[in-house]
Amino acid sequence: MSDDIRNEHTGERWVYSPTVKDHFFNPRNLLLEDPAAGEFDASGMVGSPACGDVMHVWLKIDKATERVSDMKWKTFGCGSAIAATSMFSVMVTENGGMLLTEAVKLRPQDVMKRLGGLPNRKIHCSVLVDKAFRKAANEWFRTTGQVDHIQVDGARVIDAATGVTDKDIEEAVLEGSVTLEDMQKRLKAGVGASEEVRTDIEQLIRFYKEKYYG
């Protein structure tokens, strides 16, 4: 079987699964134009056109059951981002829709399993929709007074000398930096730092490796 993709720098090769190809060429729940005001109950957006991928999602919530009755989305991103978002939208709306409190617990691994896998360097694509969805869910929880359900991503400085945070390390792991040496090369994190700082970095690397790669 021939490669669909070969990374010219690392030599990594992969063939996209039939499911990924299907959701890329036939995306479900795609919205080409922004909806009218008030058409949806909540929305969330992550990313920046200046930096790369952008993801915008819109949700309709059944007010009696708080199930996700509809999810539409629009993205500026790669084929993996499109396929991951399309699949995510199916997962949260199928079979009458997931409870919103359960939908926010979906992990990137859940999306990748349904897609039949994604290359390691494309795992961040399934994280993009997850973050946009949680922003929309937070908007719903906020407007309905359910502040105890709001999930907020904080950032904690891990290496004060370089200003590297836990979120910087998370993003680096998603991009393939999975050892302390990788982090030192990529972020300068831990270079000349105390043993305590290096241990914190290594623990975070293990945590995010397990979270995203299983």
Long-range contacts of the stretch 30-34 (C-beta < 8 A, 24+): 30/72, 30/73, 30/74, 30/86, 31/58, 31/72, 31/73, 31/74, 32/74, 34/74
Q: In whole angstroms, give the CA distance from residue 7 to residue 3.
A: 10
What is the predicted pLDDT for the residue at 1? 44
What is the predicted pLDDT for the residue at 9? 46
Active-site entry in 32, 36, 50, 51: 51
Q: In whole angstroms, give the CA distance from residue 19 to residue 113.
A: 10
Q: In whole angstroms, give the CA distance from residue 159 to residue 156.
A: 9
* Contact between residue 157 and residue 188 where contact means Cβ atoms under 8 Å apart: no
- As given in the structure block, the two tokens for residue 190 are 């831990």
What is the predicted pLDDT for the residue at 151? 78
HEC letters along the chain: CCCCEECCCCCCEECCCHHHHHHHHCCCCECCCCCCCCCCCEEEEEECCCCCCEEEEEEEECCCCCEEEEEEEEEECCHHHHHHHHHHHHHHHHHHCCEHHHHCCCCHHHHHHHHCCCCHHHHHHHHHHHHHHHHHHHHHHHHCCCHHHCCCCCCCEEECCCCEEHHHHHHHHHCCCCCHHHHHHHHCCCCCCCHHHHHHHHHHHHHHHHHHHC
78 is catalytic: no
What is the predicted pLDDT for the residue at 71? 98
Cβ neighbours of 5 (radius 10 Å): 14
Active-site entry in 125, 174, 189, 197: 125
Domains of the chain as residue ranges with CATH:
5-149 (3.90.1010.10), 157-213 (1.10.10.1100)
What is the predicted pLDDT for the residue at 144? 93
What is the predicted pLDDT for the residue at 163? 80
- Chain centroid to Cα 181, Å, comes to 25
pLDDT profile of the chain (214 residues), mean per 10 = 53 76 94 92 78 82 97 87 92 97 89 82 69 91 88 79 84 83 88 90 91 73
